[in-house]
Amino acid sequence: MTTPFTAPKGTYDLLPPASEEFLAVVNALSRPAELAGYQYVQTPMFEDTALFTRSVGESTDVVSKEMYTFEDKGGRSLTLRPEGTAGVIRAVVEHNLLAGQLPVKLWYTGPNFRYEAPQSGRYRQHVQVGIEAIGVDDPALDAEVIATAAEGFRALGLTQARLLLNSLGDATCRPAYRERLQEFLGGLDLDADTRRRAEINPLRVLDDKRPEVRAQLAGAPLLADNLCEACREHYDEVRGYLKELGVQWEEAPRLVRGLDYYTKTTFEFQHDGLGSQSAVGGGGRYDGLVESVGGPALSGIGFGLGVDRTMLALRAEGIAVADPARCQVFIVPLGAAKARAVTLAGELRRAGVSTDLAYGGRGLKGAMKAADRSGARYAVVIGERDLEGGTAQLKDLASGDQVAVPLTDAVSTIQEKLS
Ligand code: HAM
């Protein structure tokens, strides 16, 4: 016998009822974006490898260790996208959208691929809902993006998602700060790996979670204290607008994101019920990104929210967001009533009532069991004698009450009862 296949390591199958929850989460997280004027965009799941090296950054773990890169039969180096921003910016530049109305506001959803060590909340394929607002550097837009993410979590009923906020400065203030930080890090007792990281991207060392490193970082210079005038003003304005919008946040001067393209406003949503993989979403502004993929010198801002982790957060807070019922009505035809049952199912579905049917010529007992399992509110039993009299038995599956209804009125009666 052949050994059965299993899903690849670090991936999982999304089956009902969790799959229904997944759709509800994607819907809830993207709805606020639509309400704020973002339009749907879809880009390929694989891109030119160089797009990610250039945008996400060669020194990041995502690019240096986690990419699924392969050569296609035409000898091109392609990579399964590890995140959504680079592809969207590539498409915006390729199709010259920045020559039109600015900002260009887009939302997207889909899987991303990272070769990470799998654990709870960390997968090799994960799904994000994201938005990008490109072409305008206005602090009010930063606040809109952040509030849109916060609204998605709020709408789902999550209460333990905290917003962490920071500014990473820009090309004016970051180089000088970087040097100061490097100098500081040079005086610490760090292992060879961390020392190398301090050389390539010292800001990332600030994010080190190990207690022995953390203790040494207590007195590290912070970017928040070293922002240039323009970045400070921008950040102050973002906070002013967030207050206007009623969004609460925590200052996180050590928040460094795992991708290199960020400048100025950066943020992350952390959920307290998730253990070590606590970031349910994150994003920020990116000044140089559009230019780095061949577009004009315009900045943008966006976020990516983790759908898989949001589902874990809902579970941690005991929130159910999807209706577990498969259908509202379940039809049970007996004997010659099958053709009429098929017709009725079609009529109910056209009327917007979700309807299933007992297939396979099961007896009454088995079919009623299937009706119960379906989660339907009503069963419609059509026996041969009912058929002769032009009626059906409408059974309330919760109370067990049963009434005979004329088949010609069945759709309207059911609609009324469901409303
Ligand atoms: P990111 O922080 O790398 O940002 O990912 C966004 C979210 O995706 C994370 O907060 C997390 O919830 C989820 N996520 C990331 N990796 C995994 C994984 N291995 N397993 C499960 N969930 C994961 C970005 O990707 C940026 N493109 C966001 C952005 C858009 N910035 C500006 N615009």
Looking up residue 368, the CATH number of its domain turns out to be 3.40.50.800
Spell out the per-residue pLDDT of the chain, length 419, in tens: 789 999 999 999 999 999 999 999 999 999 999 999 999 999 999 999 999 999 998 888 999 999 999 999 999 999 999 999 999 999 999 999 999 999 999 999 999 999 999 999 999 999 999 999 999 999 999 999 999 999 999 999 999 999 999 999 999 999 999 999 999 999 999 999 899 889 888 998 988 889 989 999 999 999 999 999 999 999 999 999 999 999 999 999 999 888 989 999 999 999 999 998 999 999 999 999 999 999 999 999 999 999 999 999 999 999 999 988 999 999 999 999 999 999 999 999 999 999 999 999 889 999 999 999 999 999 999 999 999 999 999 999 999 999 999 999 999 999 999 99
Instruction: Look at residue 324 and tell me if it is in a domain.
Output: no
Residues 26 and 165 in one domain: yes
Query: For position 260, what pLDDT does the model report?
Result: 87
Task: Determine the Cα–Cα distance for residues 369 and 206; give it in Å rounded to an integer.
Answer: 59
Among residues 70, 50, 40, the alpha carbon closest in space to that of 292 is found at: 50
Ligand 1: distance of its center to the CA of 32 in Å? Answer: 18
Q: Which residue has the tokens 């994607």?
A: 26
Among residues 114, 203, 170, the alpha carbon closest in space to that of 284 is found at: 170
Q: Is 117 exposed, middle or buried (0-12, 13-18, 19+ CB in 10 A)?
A: exposed
Instruction: Report whether 313 contacts 280 (CB < 8 A).
Output: yes
Instruction: Look at residue 82 and tell me if it is in a domain.
Output: yes
Which tokens belong to 381?
A: 């039993």
Query: For position 144, what pLDDT does the model report?
Result: 98
CATH of the domain at 286: 3.30.930.10
Residues 310 and 346 in one domain: no
For residue 167, give every residue at least 6 positions away whose Cβ sits within 8 Å of its Cβ, in sequence order, or none: 223, 224, 227, 231, 232, 234, 235, 264, 265, 266
> Ligand 1 atom closest to Cα of 130?
30
Q: Which of 12, 309, 311 for a ligand 1 pocket mutation test, highest count of atoms within 8 Å of Cβ?
A: 309
Ligand 1: distance of its center to the CA of 84 in Å? Answer: 9
* Number of domains making up the chain: 2
Instruction: Look at residue 218 and tell me if it is in a domain.
Output: no
Q: In sequence order, what DSSP letters do the residues of 130-164 get, joined into one string?
A: EEEEES---HHHHHHHHHHHHHHHHHTT---EEEE
Instruction: Look at residue 183 and tell me if it is in a domain.
Output: no
Boundary of a domain, candidates 273, 291, 316? 316
Ligand 1: distance of its center to the CA of 259 in Å? Answer: 9
Residues 99 and 154 in one domain: yes
Q: Which of 11, 81, 83, 89 for a ligand 1 pocket mutation test, highest count of atoms within 8 Å of Cβ?
A: 83
Ligand 1: distance of its center to the CA of 305 in Å? Answer: 6
Residues 285 and 346 in one domain: no
Instruction: Report whether 148 contacts 33 (CB < 8 A).
Output: yes
Beta strands 378-382; 329-333: pairing state:
parallel
Residues 399 and 299 in one domain: no
Beta strands 125-134; 68-71: pairing state:
unpaired
> Ligand 1 atom closest to Cα of 305?
7
Among protein residues, the one with the nearest Cα to ligand 1's atom 33 is: 302
Among protein residues, the one with the nearest Cα to ligand 1's atom 14 is: 306
Residues 333 and 294 in one domain: no
Instruction: Look at residue 127 and tell me if it is in a domain.
Output: yes
What are φ and ψ of residue 92, in 5° steps? -60, -40
> Ligand 1 atom closest to Cα of 122?
20
Ligand 1: distance of its center to the CA of 291 in Å? Answer: 22
Residues 271 and 395 in one domain: no
Ligand 1: distance of its center to the CA of 6 in Å? Answer: 26
Residues 38 and 83 in one domain: yes
Boundary of a domain, candidates 316, 345, 374? 316
Ligand 1: distance of its center to the CA of 415 in Å? Answer: 43
Residues 397 and 266 in one domain: no
Widest CA span in the chain: 93
Residues 389 and 281 in one domain: no
Domain residues for the domain of 149 are 18-173+227-316
Instruction: Look at residue 196 and tell me if it is in a domain.
Output: no
Task: Determine the Cα–Cα distance for residues 81 and 63; give it in Å rounded to an integer.
Answer: 10
Query: For position 208, what pLDDT does the model report?
Result: 85
Instruction: Look at residue 291 and tell me if it is in a domain.
Output: yes
Among protein residues, the one with the nearest Cα to ligand 1's atom 8 is: 306
In 237-253, which positions are buried (b, 16+ CB within 10 angstroms) versus exposed (e)? bbbebbeeeebebeebe
Query: For position 385, what pLDDT does the model report?
Result: 93
pTM of the model: 0.95
Residues 363 and 307 in one domain: no
Query: For position 242, what pLDDT does the model report?
Result: 98
Ligand 1 environment, Cβ below 6 A: 83-85, 114, 116, 121-123, 126, 128, 130, 132, 258-259, 279-284, 302-304, 306, 308-309
Residues 282 and 342 in one domain: no
Ligand 1: distance of its center to the CA of 145 in Å? Answer: 15
Ligand 1: distance of its center to the CA of 306 in Å? Answer: 6
Among protein residues, the one with the nearest Cα to ligand 1's atom 13 is: 306
